[in-house]
Copies of this chain bind each other. A is one copy, B any other.
Amino acid sequence: MCADYKVTAWEVSGIIDYDKLITEFGTSRLTEELKERLRLKTKSKKLHVFFRRNFIYSHRDFEKILDNMENDNFYVYTGRGPSGEMHIGHLISFLTAKWLQDEFGCNVYIMMSDDEKFCVKNNLSLEQVDKQSEKDFKEIAAIGFDPDKTFFFKDTEYIKHLYKIALQFAKKTNFSNARAIFGFTNETNLGHSFYPNIQNAPTAFEKNKFCLIPAGIDQDPYWRIQRDVAQKIGYRKATAIHNKLLPPIQGMDGKMSSSDKKTAIYLTDTPELVKNKINKFAFSGGRPTLEEHKKLGGIPEIDVAYNWLYILLEEDDKKIKEIYTKYKLGEMTSGEIKKILVEKLNSFLEKHRQNKEKNKNLIEKYKYTGKLAKEMWKL
């Protein structure tokens, strides 16, 4: 792996060469042809901005889904590790899952990996992790999934239904394999080293369908081990679509971090705090002086405000192109882009908070009483 950046399931740092990751991880590029096939199968006949802007850019076996997508041939599985407050980067895979559910009516399974976070984070107790899990469910419920087609579960609570599948994966994976894929060492604790099997269990929830996992490219090692083992134990290989990582506020390298509050916008950040963070910390592609900026133009590619608009917040293709051009030509300043971003972010967060309040009562359905949840507990 290139020395300048590092992407594992545990750590992301440096400026990421996403094209190179496709080669290193052995995934496939999500080509324009595949995206067009996907678009034609949607109800809306329009791709989500993540696809249109190549933020979701890589896949494993997505053709298999496309081949028979209209016949309810897949379900979606994604999850959340409840180790700290959620920021906007954490919503990416849920937003993708929601879009897939809206367009194709598929079931969505959302794992809260409280077991993993307890084992990986030295200072967290089971009680603390559980408290965070419940908080996070509220944020995820705000996305507005179909309460009869969506199942939220915490690993420690749903373990009875995960354990037997996890054991089957575990039996076929030895410490050498896990070390090669996850970088485990002799200091890795036994809870941490068992966890990948739990994370793989939901890939066998619906045996007659494909499991499609929308997740960050950094999570691919899990699916690699799943795909190595699945067919040996009578399950289908998981399929995946990989998104890039939302860059942190300070610059295009690395990943937002729950532990460094300045690197991300949290779902609970106030409008004032959002404004301050962006104005103070957002890495700019503008020039040192206004004069230079007008003469040379800005560099949108490295401008975090521009990138956030591009990836997440300005879905209008015309408008984003206009911003790009004006900024590039020096007709728009870095401050102006930041202003647009702050407004967009705050309205996004305001809507999120309203939805969170509105959907509070759905959590019980997602977890226990909705149609899918009931079926999953009955198994």
Residues of A near any B CB (own CB < 8 A): 115, 118-119, 126, 156-157, 159-160, 163-164, 166-168, 170-176, 178-179, 184-194, 196-197
A174 close to B189 (CB less than 8 A) = yes
- Residues of B contacting A178 in the complex (Cβ-Cβ under 8 angstroms): 190
Say yes or no: B163 contacts A163, CB within 8 Å: yes
Q: Choose among A163, A164, A167, A171 the residue with the greatest number of B CB atoms under 10 Å from its CB.
A: A167
With a cutoff of 8 Å between Cβ atoms, the chain B residues found around residue A174 in the complex are 186-190
Shortest A22–chain B CB gap in Å is: 28
A54 to chain B, nearest CB (A): 36
Rounded to whole Å, the gap between the CB of A123 and the closest CB of chain B is 11
Contact check, A189 vs B173: say whether CB atoms are below 8 A apart.
yes
Q: Is the CB of A191 within 8 A of B170?
A: yes
Interface of A is mostly: helix
Residue of B nearest to A172 (CB): B189
List B contacts of A157 (CB < 8 A). Answer: 160
In the complex, chain B residues whose CB is within 8 Å of the CB of A118? 167, 171
A16 to B190, CA, bound (A): 31
Is the beta-carbon distance between B167 and A115 smaller than 8 angstroms?
yes
Chain B residues lying within 8 Å of A186, measured Cβ to Cβ, are 174-176, 179
Minimal Cβ-Cβ distance residue in B for A197: B190
Q: Which residues in B have their C-beta under 8 angstroms from that of A179?
A: 186
Contacts of A115 in B (CB 8 A): 163, 167
Cα-based distance from A362 to B41 in the complex (angstroms): 58
Q: Smallest distance from the beta carbon of A118 to chain B beta carbons, Å? A: 6
A185 neighbours in B (Cβ, 8 Å): 175
Additional 17 contacts, C-beta under 8 A, given A173-B189, A176-B187, A190-B193? A115-B163, A118-B171, A156-B160, A156-B163, A156-B167, A163-B163, A167-B191, A170-B191, A170-B192, A175-B175, A175-B184, A175-B189, A175-B193, A176-B186, A178-B190, A193-B193, A193-B194
A35 CB → nearest B CB, Å: 37
Contacts of A168 in B (CB 8 A): 126
CB-based closest 3 A-B pairs: A170-B191, A194-B194, A176-B186
**What is the CA–CA distance of A184 and B179 in the complex, to the nearest angstrom?**
14
Sample 28 A-B pairs with CB under 8 A, ordered by A number: A118-B171, A119-B167, A126-B164, A126-B167, A156-B160, A157-B160, A160-B160, A163-B163, A166-B191, A170-B190, A170-B191, A172-B189, A174-B187, A174-B190, A175-B175, A175-B184, A175-B185, A175-B188, A175-B190, A175-B193, A176-B187, A178-B190, A190-B193, A190-B194, A190-B196, A191-B197, A193-B193, A194-B194
